[in-house]
């Protein structure tokens, strides 16, 4: 049967429209954990991407030895998960390495949005010495009461609960819908509500302080 050029063109146009829609439907969205997800396998940094100043090789900043991630703190940047997540409890066990004259600075990012940059759009759970539990709202991230650049830091409303530098700390971060809560060594330190982001990558910051990490995993929310 002979097909009219008109109907042939219509069929080709329909195919061109259909293909992008199919590809879009296959793009994975943020993962909501239904069981425990280990983000560090204890051997290497599989599952992580890196963004560092001056195009520094990741191995010059992040290494794994004897089941522990070591970060030199230089240059500034981060390691972030290849996948995005939402609605989870994140647990991180980490410590400062250098303790004299004082420990320094790092952080744990949640809801990281692209593009990669030194200060990505995200919510930082502060890892600075004696400031663990502060929120820093970066590059357009906001929450209730902290909608402008001048109010980007939400300080902890309670006394610090950090262990002595050199000892391991446990950071627990609960992301539920548009809220984020963080706990340091079992104590609720801070809470953000009405955040303008509810999902994204998770990142470990390199920001001057030398630190080590031995556990990082996600769990489903109750």
Domain ranges (residues) in the chain: 29-219
| Separation CA 202–CA 110 (nearest Å) | 5
| Residue-by-residue pLDDT tens, the chain, 222 positions | 454 544 444 443 343 333 334 334 455 799 999 999 999 999 999 999 999 999 899 999 999 999 999 999 999 999 999 999 999 999 999 999 877 666 689 999 999 999 999 999 999 999 998 999 999 999 999 999 999 999 999 999 999 999 988 899 999 999 999 999 999 999 999 999 999 999 999 999 999 989 999 999 999 998
The distance in angstroms from the start CA to the end CA of the chain is: 62
Return the ∠ at Cα 208 (arms to 206 and 211), rounded to 5°.
65
Query: What 3 state SS string does 71-130 have?
Result: ECCCCCEEEEECCCECCEEEEEEEEECCCCCCCCCCEEEEEEECCCCCCCEEEEEECCCC
For tokens 């560092």, the residue is 52
For residues 111 and 138, the answer to whether their CB atoms sit within 8 Å is no
DSSP 118-154: SS-EEEEEE-STT-TT-EEEETT--BTTB-SGGG-EE
Give the per-residue pLDDT at 27: 57
Q: Is the separation of the CB atoms in 135 and 126 below 8 Å?
A: yes
CATH, range 29-219? 2.60.120.560
Q: Distance between alpha carbon 140 and the CA centroid of its chain, in Å?
A: 15
CA dist 174 and 91 (Å) reads: 9
pTM of the full structure: 0.86
Residue 72's pLDDT is 95
């Amino acid at each position: 049967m002979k097909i009219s050029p008109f109907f042939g063109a219509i069929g080709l146009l329909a195919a061109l429209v259909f293909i992008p829609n199919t590809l879009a439907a296959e793009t994975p969205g943020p993962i909501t954990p239904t069981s425990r997800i280990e983000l560090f396998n204890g051997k290497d940094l599989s599952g992580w991407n890196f963004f560092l100043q001056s195009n520094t090789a990741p191995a010059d900043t992040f290494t794994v030895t004897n089941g522990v991630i070591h970060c030199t703190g230089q240059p500034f940047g981060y390691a972030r998960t290849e996948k995005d997540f939402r609605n989870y409890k994140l647990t991180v066990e980490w410590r400062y390495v250098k303790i004299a004259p004082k420990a320094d600075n790092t952080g744990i990012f949640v809801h990281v949005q692209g593009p990669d940059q030194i200060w990505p759009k995200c919510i930082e759970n502060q890892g600075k010495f004696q400031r663990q539990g502060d929120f820093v709202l970066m590059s357009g991230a906001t929450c209730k009461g902290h909608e402008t650049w001048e109010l980007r830091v939400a300080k902890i409303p309670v006394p610090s609960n950090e262990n002595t530098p050199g000892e391991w700390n446990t950071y627990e971060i609960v992301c539920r819908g548009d809220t984020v809560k963080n706990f340091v060594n079992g104590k609720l330190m801070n809470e953000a509500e009405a955040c303008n982001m509810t999902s994204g990558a998770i990142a470990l910051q390199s920001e001057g302080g030398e630190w080590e990490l031995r556990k990082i995993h996600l769990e489903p929310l109750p």
